[in-house]
Amino acid sequence: VALTGSNLPAVGQFNRAVVLEAIRRSPGGVSRVDIADMTALSSQTVSNVCKRLLESGLVRDTGTRVQGPGKPPVILELDPEGGFAVGVHIDPAVVTYVLVDLTGAVRGRVTNTTPIVQHPEAVIDEMAESIEALIAASGVDRERILGVGIASPGPIDAREGVVLDPPMLPRWHRVALRRELSEATGLPVLLEKDVTAAVVAELWFAGQASSGDFAFMYYGTGLGTGLSVGGEVLRGSSSNAGDAGHMTVDPEGPVCSCGRRGCVGDAAVPRSLVHRAVERGILPADCVDESAEVPDVDEAFTRLAQLSAEGDPGAREIFVDAAGWLAHSVVLIVNLLDADEVIFGGPFWGRIAPVVMEILPGAVVADPAFVLQHPIRFTESAIGVDGTAIGAASLVLDNTFSPRPRALLLGSE
Ligand SMILES: [Zn+2]
């Protein structure tokens, strides 16, 4: 690592982000004196930064609050109308668009069937149209849109902003989403893997209880793992961190595309569970075929979950096995990270959640391979069904507002 320094504008940006973070983390509002206490910045610096934040409209003055003797301090809070971000979640079945305000509240939402890519230009046009329609319908001042965040299945080329060849999107091949969507909308565009967006959302909206060392288990068409280490999302050298799919969890299981048997990312995903159910006669053979399009799996998986909830022993057994496999992979992941929390979410999660939450926590702790001496919290993402789309929008908020020591280094942008 080369030695590198900082300069005053970079420090100024960092201090601005630190103050904004302190205000953002104080939902009831906060005074300048409290901000100085929280951030260890001088009162003069806090005062200067707050003046600029008020001028920019990101922060508003909510009046004074009596706090004992002396002049009551002015309370500042984030202005929800101060800025907006668009989040786009590309799932193999559906593309979800949300518009969120600075507090992360969803102000508009649209979903479309995921376009089958034949001409990338047509996809870009369709996405740009959806974004414009979303902004127009929300009534939000377009000048206040900070940017568009996109969460895509991996792998991605983060440097170029290109979606490479996601296994679940067979016809998407090197789609240059970031540049072309930015040209089409005139807005800055960020592109990240779906699991990265999910982790950023958890960090952005997390309560203070989280230690920041957690794994996010993303249960979608595929299985992904997002990682947070010390309160920062782990992106890795090419922003593709978090593929734990080829961990063997069932040595007797079916052969995965990698040639091994019983990889968790193959065995435990909805498509495989539906196929198992068909093989065992739990679901009718015609509910999916080999060339099954994703919406078919979606419907069949819902049916399987209903059967399990109604007490069908065969359906339940399939989910119990999947919970055991997921537990096996969770043990290895939390061991590796020394994490103290595992958060579950993703588009298919809700349907398998009742069985997994019943089985998995005990199975992890009882696993002889589990080495940690501290408890692990197992939680479900509180962000809801649009979590990854909101995560995509929070990429923009995070990029704009989060203080990052790395941003102090010259040459790091
Ligand atoms: Zn494999």
Residue 255 CA to ligand 1 centre (angstroms): 8
Position 413 scores a pLDDT of 41
The Cβ of residue 347 has, within 10 Å, a number of other Cβ atoms equal to 23
Residue 250 CA to ligand 1 centre (angstroms): 11
Residue 274 CA to ligand 1 centre (angstroms): 19
Residue 172 CA to ligand 1 centre (angstroms): 21
Residue 118 CA to ligand 1 centre (angstroms): 28
Helix 32-39 vs helix 43-56: crossing angle, to nearest 10: 120
Given a contact cutoff of 8 angstroms between Cβ atoms, the answer to whether 339 and 371 are in contact is no
Residue 267 CA to ligand 1 centre (angstroms): 9
Closest listed residue to residue 213, CA positions, set 394, 335, 366, 126? 335
Residues in the chain: 413
Residue 266 CA to ligand 1 centre (angstroms): 7
State the amino acid at position 372 in one-letter form. L
Residue 358 CA to ligand 1 centre (angstroms): 27
User: How remote is the C-alpha of 15 from its chain's centroid?
Assistant: 26
Cα–Cα distances in Å, from 401 out to 2, 30, 393? 26, 17, 13
Residue 263 CA to ligand 1 centre (angstroms): 5
Q: CB within 5 A of ion ligand 1: which residues?
A: 246, 256, 258, 260, 263
Residue 257 CA to ligand 1 centre (angstroms): 6
Position 287 scores a pLDDT of 78
Residue 289 CA to ligand 1 centre (angstroms): 22
Determine what percent of the chain falls in helix, strand and coil, rounding each to the nearest 5: 45, 20, 35
Position 412 scores a pLDDT of 44
Position 8 scores a pLDDT of 67
Residue 248 CA to ligand 1 centre (angstroms): 7
Q: How far apart, in whole angstroms, are the C-alpha atoms of residue 77 and residue 26?
A: 8
Query: Cα-flanking dihedrals φ and ψ of residue 42, to 5°?
Result: -70, 155
Position 397 scores a pLDDT of 86
Position 65 scores a pLDDT of 72
Residue 215 CA to ligand 1 centre (angstroms): 20
Given a contact cutoff of 8 angstroms between Cβ atoms, the answer to whether 104 and 116 are in contact is no
Residue 116 CA to ligand 1 centre (angstroms): 26
Residue 247 CA to ligand 1 centre (angstroms): 7
Residue 272 CA to ligand 1 centre (angstroms): 13
Residue 143 CA to ligand 1 centre (angstroms): 47
Closest listed residue to residue 396, CA positions, set 101, 162, 122, 177? 101
Residue 262 CA to ligand 1 centre (angstroms): 7
Residue 245 CA to ligand 1 centre (angstroms): 7
Residue 325 CA to ligand 1 centre (angstroms): 14
Residue 329 CA to ligand 1 centre (angstroms): 13
**10-residue mean pLDDT series, the chain (413 residues):** 64 83 86 92 93 90 76 88 92 86 89 71 85 94 92 87 72 81 93 91 72 92 92 90 93 92 95 94 82 71 96 97 98 96 93 97 97 95 83 86 58 45
218: tokens are 């993303």
56-62 CB contacts, 8 Å cutoff, 24+ apart:
56/82, 57/81, 57/82, 57/83, 57/144, 58/20, 58/82, 58/83, 58/102, 59/20, 59/23, 62/29
Residue 259 CA to ligand 1 centre (angstroms): 6
Residue 73 CA to ligand 1 centre (angstroms): 60
Show the 3-state SS of 285-326: HHHCCCCCCHHHHHHHHHHHHHHHHCCCHHHHHHHHHHHHHH
Residue 168 CA to ligand 1 centre (angstroms): 15
Q: How far apart, in whole angstroms, are the C-alpha atoms of residue 163 and residue 174?
A: 5
